[in-house]
Amino acid sequence: MNNEKSGALWVVGSFLIWGFMPIYWKHLDHVQSAEILTGRIVWAFIFTFLAVMIVRDGRRLMADFKELWKNKKQFWGLYLASLLITTNWFIYIWAVNHEFIVQTSLGYYINPLVSVLLGVFFLKEKLSNAQKTAFLLAVAGVTILTISYGKIPWIAIGLALSFSFYGFIKKSIRLDALRGLAIETFFIVPFAAGYYIWLFVRKDAVFLHSDFKTDILLILTGIATALPLVMYAKGVQMIPLYVAGFIQYIAPTMMLILGVFMYKESFGKMEFLSFSIIWTALIIFTISKVYESVLVRRNAHTLENSR
C-alpha cells in the first residue's frame, strides 16, 4: 500500500508539472516556437545524458543502443517515436504561445480515446459497449466544436494523434525512462544543433542575445522536459493502470483552467457543450476501464485462492 501511495504521488507530481507548463512557455512567448523546441531538444539531451552519467548508467545506455541497433524494427520504431514526440512538443509550444491553451487541453482529453482506437485498428482489441459509447460521444463533442469554430481543431487533433502514436510505439520498446529519453533526443539533437547553428549564423537566435532570464529559461527547458517524464515512469510502475488513468486528467484540466481564467481565452456556450460531452465520454470510458481492471484482479485473486 505504501508503494501505491508513493507511486501515486510521483504520478500526480508529474501531471502537476505538465499542467503548469503553459505558464513556463508563456514566459518564453517572445522567443520563436522553433527556437524553444530546438533548445528543449538540445538541453533535454544534455541533462538526460549527464543524469545517466551521474547515476553511472553509461554502460547500460550503450548496451541499450547496441540492442536497439540489432533489432532494426525497434531501432527505427524509436526513431519514429522521437519524431512524433518532437512534433507534439512543437505543436504544444506553438499553441500555448498563440493563445490556444484551451485546444491543447482538448487534445490531451481525447488522447486516451485515440489510443484505444489505435488498439482496435492495429492490435485487433475489442471495445465494450460502454467504450464504444464513450468514443462516439467524444466524436460528437469534437464535431460540435468543429462546427462552432468553422474549422477543424487541428491543434487538439495533432496533439492527440502525435502523442497517441508515440505511446503506441513506445509500448513495444522496453527502455528505462531516463536512458530512453537520452536515446530519443540523441536521434533528433543533430537536426536541432544544425538549426541552432543556422540561427546563430543568421543572427536570429534569441539565446545568448537576450536577457539572462531568457537564457536560463531556455536552458531549463531540458529539466522541464526530463523531470516529469522520469517521475511518471517511476510512479506508474507502483500503481494500477486505472489509477494512472484517473490521474492523467489533472494536466488537461489545469491547462483548461489556466487558458480560460488566467489567459482569458474564449470559452463560450458551444465550447462548454462540446467539452461537457467529452467529459461525459471520459467518465464512461474511465469507469468501464476501472470495472475491467477490478474484474481482472478479482478473477486473478479467486484463481489464486482456488489452487
The one-letter amino acid code at 89 reads W
Q: Under a CB-based contact definition with an 8 Å cutoff, are residues 216 and 43 in contact?
A: no
- Looking at the chain, list the stretches that DSSP marks H as alpha helix, in order from N- to C-terminal side: 2-26, 33-54, 58-70, 72-96, 101-123, 129-149, 154-171, 177-201, 212-236, 241-247, 250-257, 269-306
CA distance 93 to 88: 9
Instruction: Take residue 32 and report the three cell numbers written for it.
Output: 520563436
- Each residue's pLDDT expressed in tens, for the chain with a length of 307 residues: 567 788 888 989 999 999 999 999 999 999 999 999 999 999 999 999 999 998 888 899 999 999 999 999 999 999 999 999 999 999 999 999 999 999 999 999 888 888 878 888 887 777 788 888 888 898 898 888 888 878 889 999 999 999 889 888 887 787 887 888 899 999 999 999 999 999 999 999 999 999 999 999 999 999 999 899 888 877 877 877 667 777 888 999 999 999 999 999 989 888 999 999 989 988 888 888 778 777 777 776 676 666 6
What interhelical angle do 33-54 and 72-96 show, nearest 10?
A: 130
CA distance 105 to 116: 18
Quick check: helix, strand or coil at residue 263?
A: coil
* φ/ψ of residue 127, rounded to 5: -95, 145
CA distance 152 to 141: 12
